[in-house]
Amino acid sequence: MAAPVALITGAAHRLGAHTAETLHGRGWNVVIHYRSRQEQARQLIDKLNRERADSATSVQADLTNPEDLARLAKTACNHWQRLDGLVNNASVFYPNPTENATEDDWQGIMGANLKAPFFLLQHCLPALKKSSGAVVNLIDIYSEKPLKDHPLYCASKAGLAALTRSWAKDLAPAIRVNGVSPGAILWPEGDAEIDPNYQKAILDKTPLARTGNPTDIAGAITWLMCDAPFVTGQIISVDGGRSLNM
């Protein structure tokens, strides 16, 4: 029997890479999308293909480019002639106070976090319907309780949460659609890096009093993809209880 196939966006590192490895460990073939992390993507697919031959491939694409998005979907669906799962993991995160936000900020954040998942799913829809597939969107606890000075990011994730529930109704019974909403798992990097004092404040509001592990997110995604045939339209918070105290 042919292995099921998942396309995971932003899968060359961090949570996306952990998700790819976890699904691969459950017998899935994986299409690793990346934008600029070519070497990390190559290392990951080499590792997975050593574990199981011809089980992983990668595709470079700028998710804000409509032509790249269409090419990504076509390549993912055609490589093994099927697509059983889509994980919309890739996102853009950085502060942009309203008074300073630009059209480029709007296009970049909304384009990557909201527009790209919508049209990527649209492109993948025939293959997912054929396989009675599953979709998991990475949301954020800030979609419900906004983070200061991140209005566009929070709005984009709130929109993706709404899409998740809309798709669950519209695409049933052929396709299940769910979301995973991480709390403090991996701290942001680069320009979006969070001040250590703020990190401590976040953990002080987290009942489990610690950060989570990437495997917590990968496990939740994998459960929704593999082991939850009667679950759709749900957004699962994996946050150590922090959403109780926001």
The tally of domains found in the chain comes to 1
Whole-number pLDDT of residue 136: 98
Contacts of 69 (CB under 8 A, 6+ apart): 61, 63, 116, 119, 120, 123
**What's the pLDDT tens digit per position in 188-232?**
665 545 566 667 777 777 777 777 788 989 999 999 999 999 999
The neighbouring-strand residues paired with 88 are 137
- Catalytic choice (153, 176, 239, 242): 153
**What's the pLDDT tens digit per position in 14-53?**
899 999 999 999 999 999 999 999 999 999 999 999 999 9
Whole-number pLDDT of residue 188: 60
What is the Cα–Cα distance from 81 to 40, expressed in whole angstroms? 25
User: What mean pLDDT comes out for the span 163-185?
Assistant: 94
Q: Check if 14 is active-site.
A: yes
Q: Are 153 and 93 in contact (CB under 8 A)?
A: yes
Q: What is the pTM of this model?
A: 0.93
What is the Cα–Cα distance from 51 to 65, expressed in whole angstroms? 33
- 77-81, 99-103, 124-128, 144-148: which range is least confident on average? 144-148
Q: Check if 54 is active-site.
A: no
Say yes or no to pLDDT of 5 above 80. Answer: yes
E strands of 130-240, at which residues?
134-138, 176-182, 235-238
Whole-number pLDDT of residue 33: 98
Token pair recorded at residue 152: 């566009």
Whole-number pLDDT of residue 183: 78
**Pairing between strand 56-60 and 85-88?**
unpaired
Give me the chain's average pLDDT, please. Answer: 92
* Strand order across the beta sheet in which 5-8 lies: 56-60, 29-34, 5-8, 85-88, 134-138, 176-182, 235-238
Q: What range defines the domain where residue 172 resides?
A: 5-244
Whole-number pLDDT of residue 140: 92
Whole-number pLDDT of residue 208: 78
Q: For the chain, give percent helix, strand, coil, nearest 5.
A: 50, 15, 35
Whole-number pLDDT of residue 23: 98
Q: Check if 140 is active-site.
A: yes
The residue whose two tokens read 């419900």 is 144
- Catalytic choice (84, 140, 216, 239): 140
Domain CATH number, residue 190:
3.40.50.720
The residue whose two tokens read 């998740």 is 164
